[in-house]
Structure 1
Amino acid sequence: MEEKMRACIEKCLECANACMHCAASCLKESEVNMLRDCIRLDLECATICNTTAKLMQLESSYSNTVAELCAQLCNACAEECEKHAAHGMEHCAQCARVCRECADLCMSMSSAA
């Protein structure tokens, strides 16, 4: 497996973990209702990141296509998390950072197709 793909798989798994941590942390916040979109995107992003990593591990012919979708969802999640990070939610800041990194790697994989 080439190094670029290995790096993308690792970043996807890291992003999935960051998103799950962010969702769990958001659920502990006092204003959980205002975090509804953040939690939903965290869970969706974690799901696509895990799926993308698995397809890449399988060397699926669909992995580059899914990587492009993963990049889009990671960027959407990062955008939402950045709103809350601006209000001091460190778990959202961390999630946004990892999501942006994952989006960049996934986009480079999809353009390599």
Structure 2
Amino acid sequence: MPNQNQSLLDALNACVAACENCATSGLRGDNLQMMARCIELDRDCADICALTARYVARSSEHAQHLLKECAEICKACGDECQKHADHMEHCRECAEACRRCEEACRQIMAT
């Protein structure tokens, strides 16, 4: 289980970084209104991934509950970022990180 946890922690932390970068880039861009939903989901996703990482790192009995929510928010964020991925590199990178994190959460939930 420790190796699985490390892979999950890596995916969670990478997702936090990608979402924070995407939100910041979106806020600094020219079309804030178009990016509003993306930025909202980036922030939600970064927060749930950071919280989930802390629970997983300390082997909390409540981590399993967070994994489900984390996977759902990662999916929503990844779907939204994918809409902008063709013309915004930060959205493409975020969508990829969200997909990897969602998959990592679901794999741990299945074990």
Unaligned runs of 5+ in 1: none
1:53-92 matches, cutoff 5 A: 53-86=53-86, 88-92=87-91
Distance 1:110 1:69 in 2: 11
Runs of 4+ in 1 over 3 A off after TM superposition: none
Query: CA shift at 1:28, angstroms?
Result: 1.2
Distance 2:69 2:9 in 1: 15
How large is the RMSD of aligned CA atoms in angstroms?
0.9
Distance 2:79 2:50 in 1: 20
Partner of 1:95: 94
Partner of 1:23: 23
TM normalised by structure 1 equals 0.95
TM normalised by structure 2 equals 0.96
Partner of 2:106: 107
Distance 2:4 2:102 in 1: 14
Distance 1:85 1:15 in 2: 16
CA contact (8 A) 1:16 1:46 kept: yes
Query: CA shift at 1:77, angstroms?
Result: 0.1
Per-residue CA shift, 1:42-84, capped at 9, x if unaligned?
0000000000100001100111221111011001000000001
Task: Write the letter of the residue equivalent to 2:47.
Answer: T
Task: Write the letter of the residue equivalent to 2:95.
Answer: A
Unaligned runs of 5+ in 2: none
Per-residue CA shift, 1:19-57, capped at 9, x if unaligned?
000000001111111110000000000000000100001
The percent identity for this pair of structures is: 36
Partner of 2:47: 47
Number of residue equivalences: 111
Distance 1:78 1:3 in 2: 25
